[in-house]
Structure 1
Amino acid sequence: MTASAHRHELYTVDQVRALDRRAIDDLGVPGYELMERAAAAALICLRQRWPNARRIAVYCGPGNNGGDGFLLAALAREAGLQTDVIALGDSRGDDAVRARHEYEHSGGVVHLWRSGDALPVADVQVDALFGTGLQRALAPEVAELVRGIHAVGAPVLALDVPSGVNADSGDVPGEAIQAELTVTFIAAKRGLYTGQAPGYTGQVRWESLGLPEALWHEAHPDAELLQAATLPPRPRQSHKGNNGHVLAIGGEHGTAGAIRLCGEAALRAGAGLVSMATRAEHLVSLNSARPELMAHDVNGPQALEALLPRATVLAVGPGLGQGAWGHALWLTALDAELPLVLDADGLNLLAREPRKLGSSAVITPHPGEAARLLGCDTAAIAADRFGAVRELARRYHAVAVLKGAGSLVADPDERVAVCPWGNPGMASGGMGDLLTGVIAALLAQGCDAWQAACLGVSLHARAGDLAAQQGGERGLLASDLLEPIRWLLNGRES
């Protein structure tokens, strides 16, 4: 095994510090050498991304992140690049002070930044202000500098983490650097991939700094990045009964679209049969628009009970409502003890009447629904998405999907996976209904709850990216993902 085998592993800030100490204390790699390796790796990334750059501006903070910046600037000067270095003040720590002296001894000049100073013209700017240690909002004077960096208009390379982004949680409590590329060292920090962070990191590139695989022996990552996957090909003799029967429950008055999107997504994700328990008024439109969906008039629990024996998986919540009709169907569905996916008003009802769901259940809240389920506000969810998704899984004894940029999947054993795909165009109505149907279909085809949630989240997000490539992000519709979901499940990218 090589170090690159660990590129999908995500670590907390404390875990990364422990890896740093192990590299220094157990593997005998001095801290200053790690700084030199980080600077060299960052310069390579810079020149690969912006090969025509001739002038760079490097902004250095007082700590080791600033030390990385000083050494990068020294290497850039050696390579013939015109380099401007702006420092917040004095450097602190032996390695950071030594790195600053190295830059100055190479002939470089350090300019101290003061409020109101004009910033240099550059082809690329390098953020080496603050690393993983900063977990609060930037001070007002630093926030002013960050706004100035953005006003220059040149792209930004962030070293390890964009300054102002919480590398543990993905929260951004104030101003923060918006990078086009972030190069992160030794281990990938979990917060770079979720919450607000993806809006600031740009592309994230991990560099192991040439450290041996032994560094990761007995290291236990906090989470992992999802990897692209699909289902194996079906046997030639397969028939619809082999691929499960999803019963989608919802579609209160005026919400036929929600239950249709859920049901159609289940079909496109490979369920053998899909039935819908909904209001009578929707039957004609559903049957005419998608005759493969078997829509049933369900006016109460007794009518639903008649459909349950044929179902293998339930998808509960899209358009369900929280009135008497929706509540009665919700209770009947949960009492059936079938594998299920719970979303939308199915989650709002769960927040009102908490109960443990079981190992074959998946819940898919967005942050607002998650806050109701945990009895807190959305700010608390944003501040600790990893803690929130783990608590959702523990409290409801189900696999939990916390939706949003960098969706998280957790199980009751505290396993967490992070989705690296998806785009802002997916912030539109119906996307959650689609995800519910996809996960239900995967459960119906034999995946367990963890597998179905992870694969469903990844298929949904990757399909969104494919759809956006075809027509752009703005104006993306949930139904635009249906064909790409089918392509990806069959091993095609288009």
Structure 2
Amino acid sequence: MQKVFDDVHALDKRCVDKFGLSEELLMEHAAASMMQYIRGKFSNNEKILIVCGAGNNGADGIALARLLYSQYDVSILVPYHVKSAMAKLQYKRANLLGVNIIDTLSVLSLEHGPDVIVDCLFGSGLNRDLDDESQRLLTRLNSRCGHKIACDIPSGINKQGQVTTVGFCADITITMGALKTQLYSDVAKDYTGNIIVSDLGVHRSIYETATNTFLLDSADIKLPLRIKQNSHKGSFGHLSVIVGNKTGAGIIAAEAAFAFGAGLVTVITEQEVNVPYHIMQTSILPENCTAVAIGMGLGHDRKAQVKQILNRDIAKVVDADLFHNDVILTVLNSENVVLTPHPKEFCSLLKRTKLAEITVVELQNNRFKYVRLFAVNYPQTVLLLKGANSLITYNNIIYINPLGSNALSKGGTGDVLTGLIAALLAQGYSAVNATITASLAHCMSATNYPKNNYSLTPMDVIEGVKVL
């Protein structure tokens, strides 16, 4: 689990004020980190193009060119006049050294373009739409072959993590000092490539301060491995899954829960459905169940039964249709409740709670903003907002799961996630720990899928969870 920050300018300033580092020293470390990556991956004399903006992100790139000069065939593209004091200083140094400085792409050979393209145009401070010239430049850079590296933030991604026109499509982003939330918007996932963090003059643990946002990774998963030998099926919980009009959703969730360690799984249905022999079914919620999954394919009937179930003092996962029903308000800020909306459902929830009335587009452009808004008002409710990078919040802390895969963009995979979370709740996990582990398992299963990503089915995800 790694710390993530909305803005690192205060962290840079702290290094200068508290540790006596200078802006120039921070910049030299930024350049050196990119140099080390390039030296570790590419042999001498490879052609490297570094595209530098007018400010300090561009200055990082110019300093990088100086460090690579003579070992590699380096060119600096400076499409705008350098403006910041550090950019002017680094430009002067590179010029004195004899680094090849160009102001247009046209002078480079199209037949043998650069082996490496480094984007140092705008960085993390972008707060405006790109002008036409910058859009054309990024489009041309994206069209060229070569390994693409973004310095700090791929150009075109603004402070909110939005790409309003065009963005640099990096194979890797080397971000400076600490991780930034703008790297983990859903749209940013198609631009960042792999993300690594560079130290800036002090170890990262010293550079970073307190935060309420964290990045999850596979090491954070806590699988429900069975250690105690003296046990029976009742030792691992009894989950009830409410099956609605679209029966398949509930059955998928039940299958996922059974595969993820729940000792007993019962589907609650008013009419008999076809389920595997190991899944029980009844029309009444069993008294001994330890968790409930409700909402998947439910429809809008059975309001009395739904309200009765939600009023039970029992761990719950609430999904799908219930976000379009005011009954959802009865469980907010309750202990051991997990909400798992996709963006449209979350917009409905925000409207019903009177927190905001927004479109899905507005939400997707500001996912962190609205998740934080919900978290402040309902800190005891665990929320998982689905997406390319799922966001989990509890007690005003946000956890980012970046392991999502486009293979999961299939009907029924969300029902698998509900079943996984519910299985862990039934086994006694806290709501937040159940959500974190289930979300990671869900994504890791999809990532490990050995066939074409378009062919993944919900049952494939369930099978993958079994071998984590």
Same fold (TM over 0.5): yes
What is the CA–CA distance in structure 2 between the aligned matches of 1:216 and 1:71, rounded to whole Å? 22
What amino acid is the match of 2:445? A
What amino acid is the match of 1:401? L
1:317 match: 295
Residue 238 in structure 1 maps to residue 231 in structure 2: yes
1:427 match: 409
Residue 462 in structure 1 maps to residue 454 in structure 2: no
What is the CA–CA distance in structure 1 between the aligned matches of 2:46 and 2:198, rounded to whole Å? 24
Instruction: Find the residue that maps to 1:56 and give its secondary structure.
Output: strand
Q: Spell out the pairing of 1:125-274 with structure 2 (5 A cutoff).
A: 125-166=117-158, 168-212=159-203, 215-216=206-207, 219-227=209-217, 228=219, 229-231=221-223, 232-252=225-245, 255-274=246-265
- Residues 26, 201 of structure 2: 8 Å contact kept: no
1:23 match: 15
Q: Spell out the pairing of 1:328-367 with structure 2 (5 A cutoff).
A: 328-350=304-326, 356-367=332-343
1:98 deviates by 0.8
What is the CA–CA distance in structure 2 between the aligned matches of 1:157 and 1:423, rounded to whole Å? 22
1:171 deviates by 2.4
Instruction: Find the residue that maps to 1:178 and give its secondary structure.
Output: coil
1:44 deviates by 1.5
With over 3 angstroms needed to count, the CA separation of the structure-2 counterparts of 1:392 and 1:213, relative to structure 1, is closer
What is the CA–CA distance in structure 2 between the aligned matches of 1:358 and 1:364, rounded to whole Å? 15
- Farther-moved stretch of structure 1 (87-96 vs 60-69): 87-96
- Residues 177, 207 of structure 2: 8 Å contact kept: no
Instruction: Find the residue that maps to 2:453 and give its secondary structure.
Output: coil
What is the CA–CA distance in structure 1 between the aligned matches of 2:64 and 2:327, rounded to whole Å? 51
1:43 match: 35
What is the CA–CA distance in structure 2 between the aligned matches of 1:329 and 1:78, rounded to whole Å? 75
Deviations 1:182-221 (A, max 9, x none): 001111112213311111100001111341467347x112
What amino acid is the match of 2:237? G
1:403 match: 386
Q: TM-score, normalised by structure 1?
A: 0.87
What is the CA–CA distance in structure 2 between the aligned matches of 1:273 and 1:102, rounded to whole Å? 70
1:385 deviates by 1.3
- Residues 238, 289 of structure 2: 8 Å contact kept: yes
What amino acid is the match of 2:383? A
What amino acid is the match of 1:481? V
What is the CA–CA distance in structure 1 between the aligned matches of 2:19 and 2:51, rounded to whole Å? 31
Q: TM-score, normalised by structure 2?
A: 0.92
What is the CA–CA distance in structure 2 between the aligned matches of 1:180 and 1:351, rounded to whole Å? 45
What amino acid is the match of 1:241? G
- Residues 251, 278 of structure 1: 8 Å contact kept: yes
- Residues 137, 175 of structure 1: 8 Å contact kept: no
- Residues 22, 215 of structure 1: 8 Å contact kept: no
- Residues 131, 161 of structure 1: 8 Å contact kept: yes
What is the CA–CA distance in structure 2 between the aligned matches of 1:53 and 1:178, rounded to whole Å? 24
With over 3 angstroms needed to count, the CA separation of the structure-2 counterparts of 1:354 and 1:133, relative to structure 1, is farther
1:280 match: 271
1:70 match: 62
What is the CA–CA distance in structure 1 between the aligned matches of 2:425 and 2:149, rounded to whole Å? 42
1:330 deviates by 2.4
1:379 deviates by 2.1
What is the CA–CA distance in structure 2 between the aligned matches of 1:405 and 1:24, rounded to whole Å? 36
- Residues 389, 401 of structure 1: 8 Å contact kept: no
What is the CA–CA distance in structure 1 between the aligned matches of 2:181 and 2:263, rounded to whole Å? 37
1:230 deviates by 2.0
What amino acid is the match of 1:402? L
1:112 deviates by 2.1
Residue 385 in structure 1 maps to residue 367 in structure 2: yes
State, as a whole percentage, how many aligned pairs show the same letter: 32
What is the CA–CA distance in structure 2 between the aligned matches of 1:352 and 1:358, rounded to whole Å? 11
- Residues 58, 125 of structure 1: 8 Å contact kept: yes
- Residues 361, 449 of structure 1: 8 Å contact kept: yes
Instruction: Find the residue that maps to 2:399 and give its secondary structure.
Output: strand
What amino acid is the match of 1:474? Y
Give 5+ residue unaligned stretches, structure 2: 352-357
What amino acid is the match of 1:65? N
What is the CA–CA distance in structure 1 between the aligned matches of 2:437 and 2:419, rounded to whole Å? 12
What amino acid is the match of 2:340? T
